[in-house]
Chains A and B, each alone.
Chain A
């Protein structure tokens, strides 16, 4: 089937098999491999992308659901080589270790800040509760998201 959608501001028209998952569409068809697959069953969050301003597990979204939608992936965060403040704060706050959960974490955090620019710690923890990290124990990630929220304030 033919679907039309936007990824990181760019429009695409692609003929896909209806059972194709969004994660495969991004990684295999568009070469956007920043989105990672940690479980393939909606449990780890490493495949999180933003679809129409909501964080979704791209391993659970099928191609027909993408039709007419606007997707943001981790590759769409930096603008003109300038890191997004979330990316910057993740680096400054040691919120990145192996980095495999990082794209998903960033996208969950971005979706949160898009609708709630001043989240509490609890709201941040809730927003990333579907993102597993085995390396860093979340504290640094929460601090980085908080710092990013504070920095966009100024």
Chain B
């Protein structure tokens, strides 16, 4: 039965949309405060060494300089920028505000605070530093093999794990085994808004931080613990965010900016420039994965053994958890009787890795999906048919995390997508001759819906009806740019049948909005949205109860429609509006209309996307263009349709870049080579194919109206689909990302050589 919705599934502009198109919305870089000071960081030019001496005498002479900080005049307490709640496991305290021993090019050595940014910048350029250089280990291989140099006192291995579930079933069929190796690279999140924050420490000892973060409560934890303050004396206010993609998940600059504010007793603002954003925030971790599978000749997977090494960079940050999540994706996608995954995160003297859209899924799924294509080829099977035999079914159990996958519709995504893309026809009619070679590729991806099963996954909110019938949702919303506030409005509007424009949604503020751990693990629509639905339902009950009192009718005989309460059974006669109810509730019933609830998630189904790419590769230049693209999503329920399509199209932009051109490379001296948008290449409007989006809607899971996450899953299979298309076009087995023209030409040359031999 098809459900009719009034608001759900339509298209609404994002919260603050008007202010965004008029330029009126203030992002962190736009905020000015009286007496505000500007900070500029000095970052290490060497990958490993000791800061022996700092001479600031020239810098101090620059007019406007207020104070210069380094490890010589700041606390050396160790902390982790990753900790969201006190007591959280796997948070390694391995950094200080300013490094005494710098561990990568870009490590924080010093900072200047001045009355203008220009003065701070000039002063930074005049600081003289004496370093004692140490040998640098720039790759996980070097770090694992070198026993003398320890990047961190704990050694060079951040974390190791092994997951081993199931057994190889007995079979009478003939089997084959295959091995592959895939290397995915370091990429920059590239939110167009640079990172930054503002902090102020007032005369009463209260610290306020304004920041475009993914978790205000996380910022508070790290900062309050670091400075030994009461949590109630630290207030963190979420600012509008100009994109994040996981890059603003850790609490990167709030600690150091707070320290400078505490020392100067004036508001201090720190905004990074683009080079600093690339080398001094976080990058998607480079991961190398080897996979070995055993499969029957008819195409049934029996076993998958994977081993992954993740380059954590110079500090642990999110990497211990991140590396472990690599093992939690594959069994969400495929039925694998025996699955074993070993892995490790390794310190290197390079840019720090961190949370990045998809959290391990793009890395491991790229490796798995390139492998699956090669396996299908070896079996002589169509890659779609091969996958259909092995994908998970609705309500399968994920053997690794021991949770149901819920109404997992990946098979339906693949079938419907193959039809819409005309897969069979296009896959079988490829012209593989001539200069320009056309190929098609497919890949499947899996992700999750929240943190349930591994981490706290609750949220608290209050929904209030005002005296005029308008609504305020008081919640710790952290909009990361995709219109989370609007999604909450749509959910509430659907429950109460009220114009979403009458609802105001707060963003997170530790002083005034309820606890929410933040934007992680694709939890917002599924968990926070479910809470919004619950409070709206509770408020609806209150509305009906008050209407019942006012009307003297039992509430069972009342229903809501278009902001009014009607009596059931009577002709469509409006009885009483929300406005009248809200006003009378206060004036006559002595009640206020507000519903408060703390919601805990109790499931974590799989989210799926299957993507199809068509590419044309120029065999002379090695350039690849993606000429057609289809993204299919097991979304459950589309809440804000236009925004969902846009989010998919953006995710595909990121995924194609991952496949073909984006990379922060490190040279032999440890210096990042791609340190600006001039040499870090992302796809522009001219490079993007027409990305079609196909949404599979159903209602089997407990998200609001059946909705599941899309923010992360949308980018998970993209790179593999593109690379599989390139391999299909060229008959290659490229798996070292990004697949640049150089690598393509080298593979073609090798192909030629082998043919000649």
Binding site for B on A (CB under 8 A): 27, 32-41, 43-44, 46, 73-75, 77-78, 83, 87, 90-103, 106, 124-126, 128-142
Contacts and interface: CB of A to CB of B under 8 A. Distances in A.
Contacts of B22: 34, 74-75, 77-78, 83, 87
Nearest to A93: B642
Contacts of B648: 137
Contacts of A136: 646-647, 649-650
Interface string B662-690: 00000000000000111000101110101
The 7 A-B residue pairs whose C-beta atoms are closest, nearest first, are A34-B23, A98-B481, A137-B649, A100-B242, A99-B20, A94-B642, A43-B677
B650 A137 contact: yes
Given A97-B643, A135-B482, A137-B650, 14 more contacts: A33-B26, A43-B274, A43-B677, A90-B21, A94-B643, A96-B14, A98-B192, A98-B482, A99-B14, A100-B193, A100-B242, A132-B682, A135-B243, A135-B647
Nearest to B643: A94
B242 A98 contact: yes
Nearest to B17: A91
Interface in B1-60: 11, 13-14, 16-18, 20-27, 29-30
A41 B20 contact: no
A125 B686 contact: yes
B677 A39 contact: yes
A22 B27 CA distance: 19
A94 B274 contact: no
Interface residues of B, number: 56
B192 A44 contact: yes
A139 B647 CA distance: 10
B276 to A, nearest CB: 11
B194 interface: yes
B650 A135 contact: yes
Contact of A139 (B23, B27, B690): B690
Nearest to A81: B22
Contacts of A91: 13, 17-18, 21
B274 A40 contact: yes
Interface stretch (B305-313, B651-659, B743-751): B651-659
B642 A99 contact: no
Given A37-B194, A135-B481, A138-B685, A98 B23 contact: no
A36 B643 contact: no
B646 A137 contact: yes
Contacts of A37: 29, 194
Nearest to B31: A33
A100 B191 contact: yes
A38 B649 CA distance: 21
A106 B643 CA distance: 18
Contacts of A101: 192
B303 interface: no
**Which of A35, A100, A133, A135 has its CB near the most chain B CB atoms (within 10 A)?**
A135
B677 A137 contact: no
Contact of B483 (A40, A90, A97): A97
A18 B193 CA distance: 27
A72 to B, nearest CB: 12
B210 interface: no
Nearest to B482: A97
Contacts of A77: 21-22
Contact of A99 (B25, B245, B685): B25
Given A96-B20, A100-B242, A139 B688 contact: yes
B676 A43 contact: yes
B274 A39 contact: yes
Contacts of B642: 93-94, 140
A138 B691 CA distance: 10
Given A33-B30, A90-B21, A131 B242 contact: no
B742 interface: no
Nearest to B655: A137
A40 B481 CA distance: 22
Contacts of B682: 132, 134
Contacts of B650: 97, 133-137
Interface in B240-267: 240-243, 245
B157 to A, nearest CB: 33
A101 B192 CA distance: 7
A137 B17 CA distance: 18
Contacts of B245: 134
B274 A99 contact: no
B149 interface: no
A112 B566 CA distance: 52
B21 A96 contact: yes
19 contacts: A33-B30, A34-B23, A36-B192, A38-B677, A39-B274, A43-B274, A44-B274, A75-B22, A87-B21, A92-B11, A98-B193, A99-B240, A100-B191, A128-B685, A132-B677, A132-B684, A134-B653, A139-B691, A140-B642
Nearest to B678: A43
B685 A134 contact: no
Interface in B307-358: none
B13 A96 contact: yes
Nearest to A78: B22
A102 B480 CA distance: 15
Contacts of B30: 27, 33
B376 interface: no
Given A38-B192, A87-B22, A94-B11, A100 B686 contact: no
